[in-house]
């Protein structure tokens, strides 16, 4: 990770190296934090953040699921993100926003602690590699199951939930794969360690529904909409392992992963980036860079003031 100059911490800009929290912050001990990631792209009209307001709305919703009331409105959070990008003079970057119960009291109940909020930005290319964007990545079905809705709220983007994802990711990497695919407790597909998943069969797209235990993805939602705009049928529902491996194509979606083809799942090889995946990936990358009309509402300008 390449350091930048400034981080926004509780509404104030601070030097990157000074953005620190206390070792007894509640979230560090009990996982009581929620976060969001979004990307700023260098568009033809200057830097712009893709679906910023949707990300900040989800942050607030995730906080509510964990009994956390953020000290800022959605509009204030959006303004802070833009200010942080401008302060670092970046045209293209990854944005990580986190809200967490900070330092005051220890003990499982977090309610006596302040809610701290920070925004950090830095340059970050293709999450699963530039080669993966073109040729596809190798994935494996994880032995770790996605957290069940009866144990923790999987539809919240909470830091605690990613301990589960981290176990799956490390297992995949140690087995020689790029990414993990997690099943739910019913044995159906949930998501990748940090991405949603789509299959393509006979040019019909399918992705998991919210009751699969997957995080409702903003990129997933974007792809549903643009695939329909292209003219593809898009279904949502249960995806079995058999259905996944019988698909013609498969790909991951996410803020970090964008639209990343899957070329192999365990011993099932798809043969690289499929035609449908390539078409959707190309349109997605055009939209986020402001090259397609009709999607301007998804872009929030971050040009220097």
Q: Give the integer Cα–Cα distance in Å for 168 and 182.
A: 7
CA dist 239 → 111, 142, 287 (Å): 38, 15, 28
pLDDT band of 305, cuts 50, 70, 90:
confident
Q: Which tokens is 114 given?
A: 């302040």
Tell me what pLDDT residue 159 has.
98
Residue environment code for 267-280, b if the CB has 16+ CB neighbours within 10 A, otherwise e:
ebebeebbebbbeb
Q: What is the pLDDT of residues 31-69, one digit of tens each?
A: 999 999 999 999 999 999 999 999 999 999 999 999 999
Paired strand residues for 36: 97
Helix-, strand-, coil-residue percentages of the chain, each rounded to 5: 30, 30, 40
Q: What is the mean pLDDT of residues 128-155?
A: 96
E-strand spans in 105-178? 115-122, 137-145
Q: What is the mean pLDDT of the chain?
A: 97
Q: What is the pLDDT of residues 206-258, one digit of tens each?
A: 999 989 999 999 999 999 999 999 999 999 999 999 999 999 999 999 999 99
Q: Does domain 130-288 have CATH number 3.10.20.90?
A: no
Q: Which tokens is 32 given?
A: 């009581």
Q: What is the mean pLDDT of residues 89-118?
A: 98
pLDDT above 90 as % of the chain: 95
| Beta carbons of 54 and 270 less than 8 angstroms apart | no
Q: Which tokens is 271 given?
A: 């043969």
**CATH for 6-122, options being 3.40.50.2300, 3.40.50.10700, 3.30.470.10, 3.40.1390.10:** 3.30.470.10
In the chain, where the domains are located: 6-122, 130-288
Q: What is the pLDDT of residues 176-213, one digit of tens each?
A: 999 999 999 999 999 999 999 999 999 999 999 989 99
Q: What is the mean pLDDT of residues 15-30?
A: 97
Q: Which tokens is 109 given?
A: 């109940």
Q: Give the integer Cα–Cα distance in Å for 156 and 34.
A: 8
**Which residues are the active-site residues?**
157
Looking from the CA of 50 toward its CB, the CA atoms found within 13 Å total 28
Q: Give the integer Cα–Cα distance in Å for 107 and 217.
A: 32
Q: What's phi and psi for 127, nearest 5 deg? A: -60, -40
pTM for this predicted structure:
0.96
pLDDT band of 1, cuts 50, 70, 90:
confident
Same topology for domains 6-122 and 130-288, yes or no?
no
């Amino acid at each position: 990770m390449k350091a930048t100059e400034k981080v926004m911490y509780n509404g104030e800009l601070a030097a990157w190296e000074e953005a620190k929290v206390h070792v007894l912050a509640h979230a560090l001990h009990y996982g009581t934090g929620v976060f969001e990631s979004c990307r700023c792209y260098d568009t033809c009209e200057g830097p712009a953040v893709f679906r910023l307001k949707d990300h900040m709305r989800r942050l607030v919703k995730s906080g509510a699921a964990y009994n956390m009331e953020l000290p800022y409105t959605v509009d204030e959070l959006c303004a802070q993100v833009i200010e942080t990008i401008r302060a670092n003079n970046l045209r293209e970057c990854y944005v990580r926003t986190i809200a967490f119960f900070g330092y005051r009291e220890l003990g499982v109940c977090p309610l006596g602690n302040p809610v701290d909020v920070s925004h950090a930005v830095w340059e970050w290319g293709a999450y699963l590699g530039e080669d993966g964007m073109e040729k596809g990545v190798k994935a494996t079905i994880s032995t770790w199951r996605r957290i069940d809705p009866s144990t923790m709220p999987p539809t919240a983007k909470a830091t605690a939930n990613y301990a589960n994802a981290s176990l799956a990711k490390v297992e995949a990497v140690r087995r020689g794969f790029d990414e993990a695919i997690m099943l739910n407790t019913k044995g159906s597909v949930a998501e990748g360690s940090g991405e949603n998943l789509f299959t393509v069969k006979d040019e019909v797209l399918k992705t998991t529904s919210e009751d699969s235990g997957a995080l409702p993805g903003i990129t997933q939602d974007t792809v549903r909409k643009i695939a329909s705009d292209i003219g593809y049928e898009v279904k949502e529902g249960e995806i079995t392992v058999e259905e996944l491996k019988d698909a013609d194509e498969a790909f991951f979606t996410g803020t970090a992963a964008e639209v990343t083809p899957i070329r192999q799942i365990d011993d099932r090889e798809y043969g690289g980036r499929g035609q449908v995946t390539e078409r959707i990936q190309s349109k997605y990358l055009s939209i986020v860079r402001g090259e397609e009309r009709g999607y301007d509402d998804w872009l929030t300008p971050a040009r220097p003031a």
